Structure 1
Amino acid sequence: MMVDLAGQWEMLAESNGQRKMLVESDGQGKTMAEHEEQGKILVEPAGHGKKMVEPEGEGKIFVQPAGQVMTLVKSEAQGKMLVHIWDMGRCRWNLSDKGKTMVEPEKQGKILVETEKQGKILVETEGHEKKMVEPERQNMGKMLVKPEGHEKKMVEPEGE
């Protein structure tokens, strides 16, 4: 949950479903946060009150300010966004290892992505509008998913 404490933003987030990390901004653009058993995390503003967290080997996480319900995790390998939903202050994966894929988020709002069997993806914007779009073949590679075992792995999305 995001809390405004003495002019500082603090957020407790789950990095992999088990270890938690405390993210805070010192108002000067950068701060170092401790990541349990995984060294340091460099936190930088990413515009509009967002903070970009880069845990070791986990890609980049864009954290929304208070009031927002989505956060985006960026896969280092492909540079595509995976959509996650915040639930009670914790990051819950909205992707599974069954046909989900990752796409670039649209410039306006955030997107909720689901892959259909026909190879198309269902995009749901913040305005709850849904549409089917054809993913770019060249951009479909491996995706980062979180199975029930709480461990992330790289898998090939369906429809390639």
Structure 2
Amino acid sequence: MAEARRLWDIESCKEASVPTIQAAMIISYTTTNNGMDQVGALYLTRALEMGKSLDLFGPATHPGDPELDKARVFTAWVLLYSWQALFNFSFFRPPPITKPPVLLRPDANLSPEWYGEVWVQYPHTPTRNRLHVGHKLQAEVQLRHIMNELGILMFGDSSQPLTIDQIVGIKKKLDS
């Protein structure tokens, strides 16, 4: 962890980049899950600032560089938007990002190659098993989008008890 922080300190002084944001998210996740949530919050905040400076949540694309576009969409959705939703909901805070990224993720059913795949083979079994990474990430992001909406309603500036209509709407989203 010390080496990761040292590298972060060096890179974060430079111009914002997708790999630097990804590093900040890994450090945020690791520190938060090891009881240092205030430190994790600092890395998350800095990563969100860098993401905004790179317009990761906007419509910008790079036609000549599809790999960069993929990295930007993945970072915006799976790392920044999803993690900030979980982080802030877990600590009863309103999310700083109230709208999801503009560029959509590919559907895991239609473009599983976009997400990649991980295969595992357990001892004493002859076959390998897919982990269905795309479907897992898609379901995770959908759930965290609902958590983000709930965080706005429950912990935002005008937080009031949820109405029956709001509860029914959230339940419908969870059921779909």
TM-score, normalised on structure 2?
0.27
Specify which structure has the bigger relative contact order, considering alpha-carbon pairs within 8 angstroms and separated by 6 or more residues: 2
Larger radius of gyration: 2
Bigger fraction of residues in strand: 1
TM-score, normalised on structure 1?
0.29
Bigger fraction of residues in helix: 2
